[in-house]
Structure 1
């Protein structure tokens, strides 16, 4: 769920911080893993086409090995490639490499509040609270699974209303996924026609994707200038203010009817936590962190699951034989009117394998989010000093040829043994790993399974008449999206 891109000149870059002395740059390099020679001021940005593209990172692996240094302007970034290096950095040294570097754009937009953009004491308290809350969603009559089942029923109805005509599935999917996270944090869903709901979806999109644009990279390079200039970046700040004000209004309405003994959603739980810790001087539970934590979950819980489901349906168009095998398994195991539960995945090994392969193959977070070394440590023999930015290339783990039989091919057999039983793979890290593993991993897994299984049970997905092939190329951004497409949802 978490999405944070490290782009452009690096956090805190300012021309007056630049050190043109070439010898000083070389001395600093000698204490870091090997890598391409940086130029003064721009570092290796020219070599990387001014963005962290996963194909460029793979090419550098061929020259410098699985751990190397690239310079984003004046900022060195240590890149970990391949499952072995990623595991050593994120799992073995999880405690040391658990910080979050902040780009100027995100610092100005949201500050060091909430869960995703904090480090140290604040992050530990906020994350622990978030994990406790998300675990509580499995309890009660209106638990998380019940809410997802309700939204999947609405989604099937929307698809059915298209009556077999071509349509783009993105909008109905994003509304269904956003409705789930809204019920989790606010305790209620919005109507799909609600202006605030649709503006919220638009705001989430703009905030997530902006930093990966040329305007986002310009902002990170020259924040003191861009903050004063007009441009698309100002629109993002307006959308961000809208999101925060929407959450604040929800908090006010919760405060009016709040009952500490009967919490219904994240805001209720957080209000209880504020009351519980009001006399604790070390507490970070306050309204600012509450509002940002809710925004974090809205950002992290909407676009990633939406885009994964869009890739899922695109792959079913590309591989109709796989779609048919999933549908046959669903028919053989489940009654037509039976509610689909997350626990059913154990009886549906092929469907489960296909969903895992969708996550692996689409790898929507590209190289993943950067970390910061909180204590000096060593990764596979390379010393990494406190404060250094580390980029665990998750793409290199889920495509590691030492762990995947056919990494560049969509192959559900990656998750099946010779008897057709589901098996996991240790290099399957689409949600990252260690202390910064995706907070909403369990929610995302449950949503993907229930939405995907319900859609494939209800419809056969086909290309519109006259469309001969599927475009499997991605649009590069903070999340790798498929190009817009249309499909036919033929009732089964």
Structure 2
């Protein structure tokens, strides 16, 4: 056989390879066409690479999927992904456990933690414990408000250090938001000039940016390429450093643990491990799950809220009438000295509506957090196999003309009724719904309202005089990020 191969000339080999490639492409086209009708309609995929790589503007592309009806389909590589384009079909699907899975990102999470973990016993135990423990350490109680209000004072002071000068608000906002979840999970906050923590926040931001790239989508489909060079190596390096930070916190907590006075989530988890080991051999509570759960809380509790606030500054500066109306309402109710509380929401309907409108327009997770079917199921007449990825088309839902008074503009009236009272349309599902509803929804709502209201009470925001191009399409990573931008902060006290 080897002798025969040696006799073949280069032309014959190339011709054979070319014909083989043609055959594979034709077979793939046949396979795709044969499945049409079995899955929901959608844009025609390219052989092997699917649909996603052809999207130059993902947000516009997702909005356009509503033309295919309530359900459509995309392809990531050769794998179909079901897209839910309306609030009605999203509610119908996500209240069912069959749609409550997560695709396993085994090369990072290894099936541990809370967020990117399959639907089952471990997830239930970890989520239940996290909710219970976070409530005990402030979530849903007055103490979390106290933490946010205390941090808002630091944030205002930090931003006004550069009063009248052009400054990038990203680090200050990210640090302030992260300090809340850090105080609950690790029992401490970090100063804005802490170089080690600033470095970790930069790693975290890079991680989210890189994790949404096409290269990583390919890696999720073809895990063996993790052994080869590529951008995924940087993600794994960043992830390892973040895990190192958590493990160092765990090590310090072990050395100073007082069983009678748990200080935070890590202390509570260490005590739970000891408790479960004595009474339950099938427990999912162990140190690696603790590290991954703490990292999940740290990641989710930092970037989403910070990114929403950054988008908020852009929208408020571009709509100075909204910024001024919010400020006037806040000062009329609170004055300049009293910081807001969550009880003030009903007294500040326009400001509260503005916070929600920022969330709608920023739409930091326009495709939702991906779900996966845990068993074969049906939806609107389609048979959906187990292990099918499901995405929510928030890009379409948040701009549906049937449900929003001003779908294509930044306008807080979208969240106000005819009497000027706050009103939340059913299509506003920024935190998802069903069994996989966002674990930190209460915390995020508290932070967004108190931070944005406090900032508008004390600071006037504007663009710097130097030319600055703001691309409202932003940058797509795991989330929808704004591009870097500079602003001018001026104290309201001195202005007025």
TM-score (norm 2): 0.88
Structure 2 contact 64–396 (Cα < 8 Å) conserved: no
Unaligned runs of 5+ in 2: 1-23
Listed one character per residue, the Cα deviations across residues 220-242 of structure 1 (whole Å, up to 9, x for unaligned) are: 4554234232x443232222112
1:270-285 correspondence runs (5 A): 270-278=269-277, 279-285=279-285
Structure 1 contact 394–432 (Cα < 8 Å) conserved: no
Q: What is the distance in 2 between the residues matched to 1:35 and 1:473?
A: 23
Measured after TM superposition, the shift of residue 139 of structure 1 is 7.4
Choose the corresponding residue for 1:88, options 77, 80, 92. 92
Q: What is the distance in 1 between the residues matched to 2:372 and 2:468?
A: 46
Structure 1 contact 398–430 (Cα < 8 Å) conserved: no
Listed one character per residue, the Cα deviations across residues 19-43 of structure 1 (whole Å, up to 9, x for unaligned) are: 9465555554443223344454233
Listed one character per residue, the Cα deviations across residues 370-427 of structure 1 (whole Å, up to 9, x for unaligned) are: 1111133332333323222111212222222111111111110111112211111111
In the alignment, structure 1 residue 360 sits paired with structure 2 residue 365: no
Choose the corresponding residue for 1:101, options 99, 103, 109. 103
1:211-360 correspondence runs (5 A): 211-220=211-220, 222-229=222-229, 231-278=230-277, 279-360=279-360
The count of residues paired between Structure 1 and Structure 2 equals 467
Choose the corresponding residue for 1:34, options 26, 31, 41. 41
1:92-131 correspondence runs (5 A): 93=96, 95-102=97-104, 106-119=105-118, 120-131=120-131
What is the match of residue 378 of structure 2? Answer: 378
Larger radius of gyration: 2
Choose the corresponding residue for 2:50, options 37, 43, 46. 43
In the alignment, structure 1 residue 72 sits paired with structure 2 residue 76: yes
What is the match of residue 16 of structure 2? Answer: none
Distance change (3 Å), C-alpha of 1:210 and 1:21: closer
Q: Secondary structure at the match of 1:109?
A: coil
RMSD of the TM alignment (CA)? 2.4
Measured after TM superposition, the shift of residue 128 of structure 1 is 1.2
Q: What is the distance in 2 between the residues matched to 1:73 and 1:245?
A: 33
Structure with more of its chain in helix, by fraction: 2
Distance change (3 Å), C-alpha of 1:97 and 1:19: farther
Q: What is the distance in 2 between the residues matched to 1:140 and 1:418?
A: 31
What is the match of residue 170 of structure 1? Answer: 170
Listed one character per residue, the Cα deviations across residues 250-272 of structure 1 (whole Å, up to 9, x for unaligned) are: 11211222233322211012112
Measured after TM superposition, the shift of residue 285 of structure 1 is 0.8
Distance change (3 Å), C-alpha of 1:100 and 1:307: same
In the alignment, structure 1 residue 159 sits paired with structure 2 residue 163: no
Q: Secondary structure at the match of 1:70?
A: strand
The farther-off stretch of 255-264 and 66-75 is 255-264
Structure 1 contact 18–74 (Cα < 8 Å) conserved: no
Measured after TM superposition, the shift of residue 471 of structure 1 is 4.5
Q: Secondary structure at the match of 1:399?
A: coil
Measured after TM superposition, the shift of residue 141 of structure 1 is 9.6
What is the match of residue 411 of structure 1? Answer: 411
What is the match of residue 61 of structure 1? Answer: 66
Distance change (3 Å), C-alpha of 1:235 and 1:46: closer
What is the match of residue 13 of structure 1? Answer: none
The farther-off stretch of 381-390 and 20-29 is 20-29
